[in-house]
């Protein structure tokens, strides 16, 4: 009847770096190749999405998202190798956190 | 430079049961013997504090807080044995959660 819930995120000395919301945004950018379309799919303004991307890029040594304009492929926005690494890193950690919560839920004596 | 942060709480099928904010409220009630004084010390309205206490009491088999009025001791509000058990249970779990975060922080490769 009782269960343990929670959320985790990664911070740097400049503030929030990444959490589940930002991971989903990165995945949507990867899927659509566009911050505009990714933002719309999450019912978020372009400005808000851009600020989250900018915040992540500024905190990381290498950018997580790069915008390429023009060229034969018509440009588009991409999640970098570093960005994909961060997505995987966060999701693995979040899975361990869910296991922590499940184990704590089993232990609860209320 | 990067570290893992987060928060956890316990839910029942009726919603949030207890988290760090409610634990602090219970401790303040225990300290002051009064919901009114406890609420003030947390810059919370009496109504808000009472609703949190009521929410916890309604979800638990035994109440976490009881109000006794009058008598030789002049009445007062007390955290029950069950309430103290829940405080300890949550704080122990929260310590394990902090350890989880510390270990994950050490592992971070960003």
pLDDT digits (tens, 9 = 90+) for A47-77: 999 999 999 999 999 999 998 765 555 568 9
pLDDT of residue B69: 65
Q: What CATH architecture does domain A15-101 belong to? A: Orthogonal Bundle (1.10)
Q: How far is CA B15 from the centre of its chain?
A: 15
Q: Write the residue in A2, A104, A109 that is nearest to B12 by C-beta.
A: A2
**Mean of the pLDDT values across residues B16-42?**
96
How many angstroms separate the CA of residue B101 from the nearest CA in chain A? Answer: 9
Which residues of chain B make contact with A17, given a CB cutoff of 8 A? 2, 110
- pLDDT attached to residue B67: 84
Residues of A in contact with B89 (CB under 8 A): 108-110
Where exactly are the structural domains of chain B?
15-105
Q: Looking at the complex, does the CB of residue A103 fall below 8 Å from at least one CB of chain B?
A: no
C-alpha dist (Å) from residue A31 to A17, A25, A50, A71, A76: 21, 10, 16, 20, 11
Select from B84, B70, B77 the least CA-distant residue to B33: B77
Q: Cβ contact (<8 Å) for B3 and A9?
A: no
Complex ipTM more than 0.85, yes or no: yes
Which chain A positions have a beta carbon within 8 Å of B100's beta carbon? Answer: 96-97, 100
Give pLDDT, residue B110.
87
B97 touches chain A (CB under 8 A): yes
Q: Which pTM does this prediction carry?
A: 0.90
pLDDT in tens, A87-108: 999 999 999 999 999 999 999 9
Calculate mean pLDDT across residues B74-100.
94
Give A1-12 as a DSSP string. --EEEEEEEEEE
Split at pLDDT 50, 70, 90, the class of B107 is very high
- Grade residue B31 by pLDDT with cuts at 50, 70 and 90: very high
Chain B positions in Cβ-Cβ contact with residue A89 (cut-off 8 Å):
108-110
For residue B25, give how far its alpha carbon lies from the nearest alpha carbon of chain A (Å): 19
pLDDT reading at A33 higher than 90: yes
Q: What is the average pLDDT across A5-14?
A: 97
Task: Give the gap in angstroms from C-alpha B60 to the nearest C-alpha of chain A.
Answer: 8
To the nearest whole Å, the CA of A76 is away from the closest chain B CA by 25
- The tokens describing B103, both together, are 């270990």
CATH for B15-105 is 1.10.10.10
B96 in contact with A at a CB cutoff of 8 Å? yes
Report the range of poorest mean pLDDT among A66-70, B101-105, B106-110: A66-70
Between CA B11 and CA B16 the distance in angstroms is 4
């Amino acid at each position: 009847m009782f269960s343990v819930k929670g959320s985790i995120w990664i911070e740097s000395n400049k503030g929030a770096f990444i959490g589940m919301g930002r991971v989903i945004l990165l995945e949507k950018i990867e899927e659509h190749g566009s911050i505009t379309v990714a933002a719309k799919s999450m019912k978020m303004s372009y400005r808000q999405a851009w600020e989250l991307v900018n915040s992540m890029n500024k905190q990381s040594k290498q950018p997580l998202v790069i915008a390429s304009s023009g060229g034969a492929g018509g440009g588009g926005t991409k999640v970098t190798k570093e960005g994909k690494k961060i997505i995987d890193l966060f999701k693995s950690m979040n899975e361990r956190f869910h296991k922590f919560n499940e184990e704590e839920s089993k232990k609860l004596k209320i």
